[in-house]
């Protein structure tokens, strides 16, 4: 994929594959960045071109002002991705709040008359329509209390969160994403005519089995729930099994 410089900041492509039949856009979890999917570009089959999304205020875009409100982020992200979703069939993969972003981006494309993804992969993401209200806000907390709450919700060891590398490299982006999440509001719309695969983890205390399973109500197409071992951030430990599940679920469209 030839990526014009203006887009290289938002839509990355670690390994361009001109002969690909499917473009997989990947959305990272809160506090993450595009490097979360670095190995995916090499390890997934040649028919897939992996395009991780890089948001402002982190990693290679650390010097840019972050966007802290979800509606603004969604509109900007959609406008920057629109040229790429028109070029070939595409799918979305999002982990944690990245899954919510992927889902809302698909609905944005439908409202705008744009092309829809051939598949949505929503990993460690709660179906927001069944949540009674937003999670407790985090953004107002001191760094110490903020990190304690993150450890409690997502199972990340405190020694990792308190490390200097984390505080300098990840904490600013994580605080930005907390603001983004707090500004998100689910609005009812008809189900998408897009197959959905929901990936959950048995030890995830942040997203219940019911919340992962309830994505089935957001599609008129095929739905598949798959449960993995691990806690909320099972993305790296279960990567080979995630690949296998994705390829199985894409098989009806890419035999």
Q: Tell me: the pLDDT tens digits for 10-25?
A: 999 999 998 999 999 9
pLDDT in tens, 224-244: 999 999 999 899 999 999 999
Query: What is the dihedral sign for C-alpha 150, 107, 102, 129?
Result: positive
pLDDT beyond 70 at 133: no
Sketch out the chain's domains with CATH numbers: 5-250 (3.40.50.1820)
What pTM does this model have? 0.93
What is the separation of C-alpha 201 from the centre of its chain, rounded to a whole number of angstroms? 16
Confidence at residue 198, expressed as pLDDT on a 0 to 100 scale:
98
pLDDT tens column, 167-206: 888 888 999 999 999 999 999 999 999 999 999 999 999 9
For residue 1, what pLDDT is reported? 53
With a cut of 50, say whether residue 30 has pLDDT above it.
yes
pLDDT at site 149: 87
* Helices 171-182 and 97-111, axial angle in degrees (round to 10): 50
How far from 70 is each of 38, 205, 253, CA to CA, in Å? Answer: 25, 24, 32
Q: Is pLDDT of 134 > 80?
A: no
Residues marked active site are found at 96
């Amino acid at each position: 994929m030839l990526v014009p410089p203006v887009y290289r900041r938002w839509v990355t492509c670690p390994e361009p594959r001109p002969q690909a039949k499917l473009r997989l856009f990947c959305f990272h979890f809160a506090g993450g960045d595009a490097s979360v999917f670095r190995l995916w570009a090499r390890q997934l089959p040649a028919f897939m071109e992996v395009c991780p999304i890089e948001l402002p205020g982190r990693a290679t875009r650390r010097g840019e002002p972050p966007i802290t409100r979800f509606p603004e982020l969604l509109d900007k992200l959609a406008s920057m991705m629109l040229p790429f979703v028109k070029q070939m069939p595409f799918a979305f993969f999002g982990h944690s709040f990245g899954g919510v972003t992927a889902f809302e981006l698909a609905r944005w494309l439908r409202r705008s008359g744009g092309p829809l993804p051939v598949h949505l992969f929503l990993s460690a993401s709660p179906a927001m329509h069944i949540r009674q209200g937003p999670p407790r806000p985090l953004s107002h907390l001191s760094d110490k209390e903020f990190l304690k709450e993150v450890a409690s919700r997502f199972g990340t060891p405190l020694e990792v969160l308190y490390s200097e590398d984390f505080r300098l490299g990840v904490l600013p982006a994580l605080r930005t994403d907390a603001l983004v999440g707090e500004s998100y509001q689910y609005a009812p719309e008809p189900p998408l005519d897009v197959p959905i695969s929901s990936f959950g983890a048995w030890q995830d205390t942040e997203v219940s089995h019911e919340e992962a399973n309830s994505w089935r109500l957001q599609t008129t197409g095929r739905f598949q729930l798959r449960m993995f071992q691990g806690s909320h951030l099972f993305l790296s430990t279960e990567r080979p099994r995630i690949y296998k599940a994705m390829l199985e679920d894409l098989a009806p469209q890419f035999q």
